Amino acid sequence: MTNSNEKQGRDRIGRFTETLHTESGVRLTPLPNPLRDADGTEWDADGDEYTSKLVSMADGVRIEVSKDIRSEDYNLDVVDYRGSRPVRLARDVVDSTEAGKERGKQLRERALQYEHNKLEIGARSPWGTIENHDVLAPGIDDVWTAGHGGYKLSRKRQAEVHPAWRKHDGWYEEDCAWSVAAITHYKDLSRLKFKEAHAEARKYYPDEYAQIVGKDPERYGLTEFKPITAEESDIIAAREFLAPRAETHDRMLRLDLEPEGHPGMVAVDLSDIPADGKVNDEKPLNPRTVLIPEDDWKDMAPAWTERRTLPKVEGLQIFKKAS
């Protein structure tokens, strides 16, 4: 029986609200409102006879936490509607309604830190006309053309890439450079891409990787940094091969079997090998062109096939300094 001095009601989802007493000075503590969080986030109740849902739509990002009575799972679905097409930020199983709400709000807060790229089919990219693009996360698009593709980062995403390996235009091609974008923004990409990206960067950018990731592995999702081995990177393998030969060999840059004006000779562009084996073919060390008699070259030729090195030979005629 209801006390004649009490008034009762139900809220929007059927829960009893606070009970008010008409007696002076008596007021019960109100129940928490399940449709409004302490931080001000508002939720709408939805569902059917089998499923209950809480939905929050704010700033273009929709969070849905649902529970099907036929299952023990709680489900989280987060979709960003701010761009030219919806982008699903998460579809996960969570431990509870509250866990789903908290996770969803974290994802929304992070997504709102970044603007979307404004890409159009038919627009130009460094690799040709854009045929399509997939939005991996706000500000990260996977773009492809008829012959190539890669990642495009938004202005803020681009600014967060370390300057030592940042591309000036925000385009990161699919062969190697995509790994730089993926490592920088690993929190918003799949775990599979995370592993692939680190392997690619270690292979193609060993110096930058050691400098950037090696100094702060936790910033890039790792617990520790492990030195890059020759098995992981051909660049490291080449250095390990060349360094011991720095004093005994030259590096061959180019070969001309019939140099104009020098019949019976072979012209070879050579450079010195740095002591650490870190050669730079764009800026070779002590570049020069030497002339070698054809008969002598036949005896020397088998040696240079080994990573383009040639045993040092005294008295070779220097034809010119290589440019």
Render each residue's pLDDT in the chain as its tens digit; 323 residues: 445 444 444 444 444 344 444 555 556 555 556 689 999 999 999 989 999 999 999 999 999 999 998 999 999 999 999 998 899 999 999 999 999 999 999 999 999 999 999 999 999 999 999 999 999 999 999 999 999 999 999 999 999 999 999 999 999 999 999 999 999 999 999 887 899 999 999 999 999 999 999 999 999 999 999 999 999 999 999 999 999 999 999 999 999 999 988 999 999 999 999 999 999 988 999 999 999 999 989 888 877 777 789 888 887 777 765 55
pLDDT of residue 2: 47
DSSP-derived letter for residue 16 is: B
Say if CB 67 and CB 55 are below 8 A apart. no
Structure tokens at 211: 């400098």
Query: pTM of the full predicted structure?
Result: 0.78
pLDDT of residue 318: 78
Helix (H, G, I), strand (E, B) or coil at 65: strand
> Could you tell me which residues come within 8 angstroms of residue 9 by beta carbon, excluding any fewer than 6 positions away?
16, 17
> Could you tell me which residues come within 8 angstroms of residue 125 by beta carbon, excluding any fewer than 6 positions away?
143, 145, 152, 171
> Could you tell me which residues come within 8 angstroms of residue 150 by beta carbon, excluding any fewer than 6 positions away?
126, 127, 142, 143, 171, 172, 173, 174, 177, 178
Q: Cα 319–320–323 angle (5° rounding)? A: 145
CA distance 296 to 300: 6
Which residues sit opposite 61 in a β-bridge? 58, 80
Which residues sit opposite 68 in a β-bridge? 51
pLDDT of residue 16: 39
pLDDT of residue 226: 96
Please give the order of strands across the beta sheet that includes 309-311.
309-311, 249-256, 265-272, 285-293, 317-320
Structure tokens at 281: 């073919």
Structure tokens at 204: 């193609």
> Could you tell me which residues come within 8 angstroms of residue 317 by beta carbon, excluding any fewer than 6 positions away?
290, 291
DSSP-derived letter for residue 84 is: S
Read off the amino acid at residue 104: G
Q: Cα 180–183–189 angle (5° rounding)? A: 120
pLDDT of residue 28: 58
Using CB atoms within 10 Å of the CB of residue 196, give its burial: 0 to 12 exposed, 13 to 18 middle, 19+ buried.
middle
pLDDT of residue 9: 45
Between helices 234-242 and 191-204, what is the axis angle to 10°?
Answer: 20
pLDDT of residue 302: 72
Q: How many residues are present in the chain?
A: 323
Structure tokens at 57: 């739509």
CA distance 89 to 104: 9
Element (H, E) at 194: helix 191-204
